[in-house]
Amino acid sequence: MIFSLLVLSASAAPTIVIDASDVRPISPFIYGINNPDWKGIGRGVTLARQGGNRMTAYNWETNASNAGNDYHHQNDNYLGASNEPGWTVSNFLRPAQSHGAAAILTVPTAGYVAADKNGDGDVAKTPNYLSVRFLKSYAHKPGRLTYPPNTKDRAVYQDEFVAWVEKIKSNRTPVWFSLDNEPDLWGSTHQRIWPKNPTYAQIIANNVEFAMAIKRVAPKALVFGPANYGWQGFRRFQDAADANGRDFLNTYLDALHQAERKGRRRLLDVLDVHWYPEARGDNVRITDNNDKPGTAAARIQAPRSLWDPTYVETSWIADSLGKKPIELLPRIQTQIAQHYPGTKFAITEYNYGGGNHISGAVAQADVLGIFGRYGLFAACNWGLNPRDQMMLAGFDAFADFDRHGSRFGDLGLKVTGTNAEANSVYAALDSKNRRRMTIVAINKTGVPMPLTLSLRGFRARNVRAFAVTSDAYRTPRAASARVKTSVVTLTAAPFSVTTLELSK
């Protein structure tokens, strides 16, 4: 299998240096999935997010929701036939926590939630639909918060929802809250509630109000926001009417920082955006269900736009920058440092495509390595399920590389000597066992690649290795690697992800 753009000479074995004295913590929460299928996935998942368009008009009192433009703008029982208050959330939260995963729950902030489960198509067919087919949704409830909630008062209160979650959750894993989902697209996705997209001023006021409500009843829980859908969302809030050339994230961070100073309480803990790459190859976007050679080649290189100051992808985003590198993670981290220091950073939806193509395994593994290296706090793949065997294999190269629960370490190490176009190498120690080192070596080329890994400050005696290749992904193939004190040698198969575990 050869992708025309990826056959590079690998006759000489590059020496890659891993420095065990240069250590940076890796957040455990980057190995996340949205709405995971726990029957087919689960051993390595550390974070589960209950998100998506359906949550914007989710009525926690009855589990009714509105599909938005995903399906005829109809109210129905898609999220749960049961009328037990919170049934949908408790049935998400319970298995997530039982599998040892932290959880992010979405708090609807758009102002209206579905009032019924009629499933009769567009709610706009009903006269006065906004008052008939929806209920007002408020941040704060006046008076006492109760469970079960009052379902006869024609109102739904989100602080009451959060207070209920705080009572039912397990203390084994963290439970956090997201300020709705992709508000920069509400004017399209949820136009029955928001006929036009919110402005900067509207969404900032909205997020401050609802964050205050959450913090009042769950002061220790992290709040994520604003869950922008993508580049135009977090740059210009989808050309909001009051953008006036301002960068949205800069404006948003400044405003939330000011709200903290005014209220003497941090309201936003984690800046959250979504990232679906726009990179293209063979005139096809890499996230499409297409694995043309050029598309696969572009997918393998696309993770470089997360960090690489020398890489310019083929996309309208790069074009909008004057055909310059995107450098997404350093770019946003710099904005955080300048406008709201101390705020964590998350990407709670992403997907690079290639669910059943080796390029999907390579890209997914590379992305997780980059997330760890660049200090991302949390990340959740959107759409990953047991049918995406290749993408899942790339995920498991870090999260469950031997299929018996072994995972990549949590103390990232400095690595030098790689060639970003041809290979990536990530290494880590284990905070609970400093005699253990894990390494993920990715060959992005169509030929075998000899690698020499020079270890500084770590002397290994034993090595075991597992390789994900185009013909070994459900169960990774045992790979041949040799270790002699401070030097590891291996030949990485074409288009492969190899995880090594070293021990003293």
In 328-486, at which residue ranges do the beta strands (DSSP E only) sit? 344-350, 378-381, 411-416, 423-430, 433-443, 449-456, 462-469, 472-478, 481-484
Map residue 357 onto helix, strand or coil.
Answer: coil
CA–CA dist 420, 489 (Å, integer): 19
- State the pairing for strand pair 487-492/449-456: antiparallel
Residue 353's CB is within 10 A of a number of other CB atoms, namely 28
CA–CA dist 238, 248 (Å, integer): 9
Map residue 51 onto helix, strand or coil.
Answer: coil
Identify the active-site residue in 61, 160, 182, 501: 182
- Sorted by sequence, the CB contacts under 8 Å of residue 434 that are 6+ apart come out as none
List Cα–Cα distances, 61 to 66, 87, 152, 211, in angstroms: 14, 9, 10, 20
Which residue bears the tokens 């210009």? 236
CA–CA dist 435, 108 (Å, integer): 46
Among 305, 303, 313, 304, residue whose Cα is nearest residue 354: 303
Question: Residue 327 catalytic?
Answer: no
Strand partners of residue 456: 19
CA–CA dist 19, 126 (Å, integer): 65
What single string gives the DSSP state of each residue in 175-198? Answer: EEEEE-S-GGGHHHHTTTT-SSPP
Catalytic residues: 182
